[in-house]
């Protein structure tokens, strides 16, 4: 597979599509290299745990919401995503996707939606 150059999502690695192709705009994304940090006895700080990420939208239209919901019928699901890391390099990951359990809906749109991805493991 060619290296990703934009945001992607899919149920499997082979079925990933760009958000653009799915009719969803690119999110404001937040990427964390580690789940947590700890301080060693030497005083050094060390990152531990899987990378995690958040995709945030000011609003999602109902059709865009349906796209995400198609990958995660419940609260959480295993998916594949592509996104930039903190070095601005796009990479593909397997991830656990978690959708909000509570939404604000205004005029049919979903307001201030944050989709969380945890347990990111590079897929390539």
Give contact residues for other proteins (rule: CB under 8 A). Answer: 34-36, 38-42, 44, 46-50, 118-119, 121
> C-beta of 54: minimal distance to other proteins in Å?
14
Q: Which helix (H) or strand (E) holds 20?
A: helix 19-22
Nearest distance from C-beta of residue 41 to other proteins, angstroms: 4
Phi/psi zone of residue 11: left (φ > 0), alpha (ψ -120 to 50 degrees), beta? alpha
Q: Least distance from C-beta 121 to other proteins, angstroms?
A: 5
Q: Which is nearer to other proteins, 24 or 83 (CB)?
A: 83
Helix (H) or strand (E) holding 117: strand 109-122
For other proteins, the closer CB: 34 or 63: 34
In the complex with other proteins, which residue's Cβ is closer, 58 or 76? 76
Residues 6+ apart with CB under 8 A from 55: 7, 27, 28, 29, 83, 114, 115, 117
């Amino acid at each position: 597979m060619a290296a990703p150059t934009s945001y992607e999502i899919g149920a499997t690695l082979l079925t990933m599509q760009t958000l653009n192709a799915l009719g969803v705009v690119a999110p404001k994304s937040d990427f964390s290299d580690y789940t947590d940090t700890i301080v060693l006895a030497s005083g050094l700080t060390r990152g531990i745990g899987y990378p995690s990420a958040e995709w945030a939208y000011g609003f999602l239209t109902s059709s865009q919401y349906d796209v995400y919901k198609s990958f995660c019928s419940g609260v959480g699901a295993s998916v594949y995503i592509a996104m930039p890391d903190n070095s601005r390099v796009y990479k593909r990951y397997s991830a656990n996707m978690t959708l909000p359990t509570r939404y604000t809906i205004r005029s049919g749109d979903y307001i201030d939606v944050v989709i969380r991805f945890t347990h990111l493991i590079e897929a390539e």
